[in-house]
Each structure stands twice: as structure tokens, then as C-alpha cells.
Structure 1
Amino acid sequence: MEELLFEVLWLFILALPIACVAWTVTHEEVFKEPRNFCVEKSKTCKPLVVRKFFYLFTCEYCFSHYVTILFLILTDFKLLLDDWRGYIIAGFALVWIANTYMSLHFLLRQAIVKEKTEIQVLESNK
């Protein structure tokens, strides 16, 4: 039981850097130019495989799968089972939790922007 609790704790903690990397690459200003390049290539390249390859750098959900694979390799994290099935379970669980974190982050940022805008409107009406 204690081992399962430890694995679940690892799951929720390991999903944090996965969400951070996926969000940063797909949304933040520091990666704007490479992301714009990938957006353009994902729309204009002829081969479907090439378009999909470039698209994965623009979608936080898609990119989080690849970040998760990297973190699974780095940490050797398995969930519930100690063989290859533990990697599969951990991978999908990490992607789901990381995307939940990113959704919460997006909603929080949206609420902050809305509040700042409302304050500016109120102050300009004084």
C-alpha cells in the first residue's frame, strides 16, 4: 500500500515538469519563432507525415506525449506493474495529469487577464 502511495506521489510530481516543458514549447514567447515556423510547415508541407511532424510542436497535448516518453526514459518510472506494461500505464497517466495541469494553468491565466482588463476598464471610467 505504501509503495502504491509513493507511485501516485511520483505520478503527480513527475507530471509537473512534463506540463511545464510542453506548455513552454507550445505557448511561451521564448519559442515563438520556432513555433511559428512549425505552424507554417504544418499547414504548407505536402506530405502528411511531414505536416503532422511539425504539428506536434504546436499542440501541447500532442507534444506532451513525446515529453512524457523522454521523462519515462530519464526516470525509469513505471506505474502499478514492474514490466513494460507499467511504462504504458505510466505514460498515459502522466499525459492525462500533465494536460490537466496545463488546462488549469490556462484557466488561471485567462482569469488573471480578465481581471486585469476589468480593472483597467473600471479605472479608465473614473
Structure 2
Amino acid sequence: MESHIYYLFVLALPVACIAWTVTKEEIFREAREFCVDRSKNCNKLIKRKFFYVFTCEYCFSHYVTVIILFITKYTLIYASWRGYLIAFFAIVWIANVYMSLYNIIRIDLKKEKIRVAKEESELNGE
């Protein structure tokens, strides 16, 4: 059972990494902007929801988790479909905790960078 908990936290790492990268990072900006536009301007609800998934890290993490579970066959607590269901929600939750913590760290780093730049400009008499 202990190794199952270990794998839960390990499997949530690639889910968080993939979900964050696709929905937030610069490398996918153009594709994301296209998806944002389509999620707002498609004429059918199902199309809008499909494109919205690629703009929301929480939503996208569910789909990444399904793929990870399919690849790894990881179950939690039970060996049947119930184990997959529990693992699915547990991985999504842990991955989103990781992404929230990462976001907090990034914001703190940006604030510190701005503060240092302001202090340097004051010292230089600008």
C-alpha cells in the first residue's frame, strides 16, 4: 500500500507538468490563443467545450490523467475499476496542488524580481 501512495505523488508530477506546459507556457501560446478564440466563438457548445479544455490547467489535467492511467495501469486501494476511479481523482487533485504551489512560487519570484529592479533603479538615481 505504501508504494501505491508513493506512485500517486510521482504520477501526479508528469500530469502537472504536461497540463501546466500546454495551458500556460509560451511554447504553446499560439495554439492556446487559437483554442481561446474557438472556445469563445464556436457555434456549437461541444466545440466550445472541446477547445476550452486546452486553456484550463485543471480541465486539461483530467485528460492527461486518463492517458497516464491507461499507460501505467495504476490503481489505488482497489484492483478493479474502482481503483482506477480513485486513482483518477487522487492524481488530478495532487497534480493541481503541485500546479498551485508552482504558481505561488512563480508569483513570489516575479515580485522579488520587481522589488530588486526597483531598488537598483533607486540606487542608481533614476
Classify the TM-score, shorter chain.
over 0.9
Deviation by residue 1:59-113 (Cα, 9 ceiling, x = unmatched) = 0000000000000000000000000000000000000000000000000000000
Segments of 5+ residues of structure 1 without an aligned counterpart are none
Deviation at residue 46 of structure 1 after TM alignment? 1.1
**TM-score of the two chains, using structure 1 as the length reference:** 0.97
SS at match of 2:79: coil
Q: 1:37 — aligned with what? A: 34
- Kindly indicate whether residue 84 of structure 2 is the aligned counterpart of residue 82 of structure 1: no
Q: 2:108 — aligned with what? A: 111
Q: CA RMSD of the aligned region, Å?
A: 0.3
Deviation at residue 17 of structure 1 after TM alignment? 0.5
**TM-score of the two chains, using structure 2 as the length reference:** 0.97
Identity %: 55
- Kindly indicate whether residue 14 of structure 2 is the aligned counterpart of residue 17 of structure 1: yes
Of 55, 59, 64 in structure 2, the residue corresponding to residue 62 of structure 1 is 59
Segments of 5+ residues of structure 2 without an aligned counterpart are none
Q: 1:92 — aligned with what? A: 89
SS at match of 2:54: coil
The 4+ residue runs of structure 1 with deviation greater than 2 A are none
Of 20, 23, 45 in structure 2, the residue corresponding to residue 26 of structure 1 is 23
